[in-house]
């Protein structure tokens, strides 16, 4: 029997003032799948993620997050989500240890042992305030916070951006090994084509608030001569090759 998607939305539209920033987005996320939301800066990725999680008000025809309606039962649904926003929403004076202690009561499945194990594996200082951490150390601390309660859905918003290559590889390895994807799913927003190809089972391309492509990583190649690719995608990702039949 087919199980319902972990996240499903139809007709999602978001306006800031008179300007539409998201246009009639339809999306399903299924268990066992890592979906990369690929788009340039300013394409609407962060706004879309916040709308999908019920953190931002928007217009939708249908919306389900882990079989709950996030407009009515958002807190209950988000108990089973691990989320890393594009800008850390942590008090700068707070340490990782204090952050984990603060988060634990909000997540019924929070595991201090798992948090300690993941933090130990990434080897960053858990007793130092976030304002004193490097970008890589802060990224590690926030990924541990997102994974400590073994969420059904992991949502990462540019979590690997602007990290030094060795740190990015370390964080990426932990995510690939520890994200509970056997019965869950992940949604990763990035503007990095190489990262998308490395992580994804499926790639969604967002351009100016509209989903313009739904492809597999094999359909994205860093090579020139993509004559079948619609012009706008060639402009966004000059090295990409997308099978034109898969582009909406």
Q: Tell which wins on pLDDT, 192 or 188.
A: 188
Asked whether 43 and 206 are in contact (CB, 8 A), the reply is yes
- Among the listed ranges 12-21, 106-115, 133-142, 219-228, which one has the minimum average pLDDT value? 219-228
Range 152-167 average pLDDT: 91
Q: Report pTM.
A: 0.87
Q: Tell which wins on pLDDT, 226 or 216.
A: 216
Q: Does residue 25 have a pLDDT over 60?
A: yes
Tokens (6 digits) for 201: 């089972």
Range 154-173 average pLDDT: 91
pLDDT at 239: 56
Tokens (6 digits) for 97: 């240890």
Report the distance separating Cα 128 and Cα 126, nearest Å.
6
Report the distance separating Cα 153 and Cα 6, nearest Å.
8
Report the distance separating Cα 217 and Cα 36, nearest Å.
9
Q: Tell which wins on pLDDT, 42 or 149.
A: 149
What the chain holds in terms of domains, given with CATH numbers, is 7-43+53-246 (3.40.50.300)
Tokens (6 digits) for 231: 């012009």
Strand order in the sheet with 62-65: 19-29, 7-16, 62-65
pLDDT at 230: 55
Torsion on CA atoms 194, 195, 198, 203, rounded to nearest 10: -90
């Amino acid at each position: 029997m087919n199980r319902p998607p972990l996240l499903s939305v139809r007709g999602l539209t978001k306006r800031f003032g008179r300007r539409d920033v998201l246009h009639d987005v339809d999306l399903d996320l299924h268990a066992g799948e890592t979906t990369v939301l690929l788009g340039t800066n300013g394409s609407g990725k962060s706004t879309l993620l916040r709308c999908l999680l019920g953190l931002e008000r928007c217009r939708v025809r249908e919306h389900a997050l882990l079989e709950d309606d996030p407009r009515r039962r958002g807190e209950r649904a988000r108990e089973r989500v691990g989320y890393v926003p594009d800008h850390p929403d942590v008090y700068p004076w707070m340490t990782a240890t204090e952050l984990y202690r603060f988060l634990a009561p909000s997540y019924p499945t929070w595991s201090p042992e798992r948090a300690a194990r993941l933090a130990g594996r990434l080897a960053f200082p858990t007793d130092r305030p976030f304002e004193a951490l490097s970008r890589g150390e802060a990224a590690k601390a926030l990924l541990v916070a997102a994974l400590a309660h073994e969420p059904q859905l992991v949502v990462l918003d540019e979590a690997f951006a602007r990290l030094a290559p060795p740190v990015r590889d370390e964080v990426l390895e932990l995510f690939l090994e520890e994200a509970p994807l056997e019965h869950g799913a992940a949604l990763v927003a990035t503007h990095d084509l190489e990262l998308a190809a490395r992580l994804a089972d499926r790639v969604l391309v967002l351009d100016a608030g509209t989903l313009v492509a739904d492809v597999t990583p094999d359909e994205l190649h860093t090579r020139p001569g993509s004559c079948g690719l619609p012009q706008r995608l060639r402009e966004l990702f000059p090295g990409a090759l997308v099978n034109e039949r898969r582009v909406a």
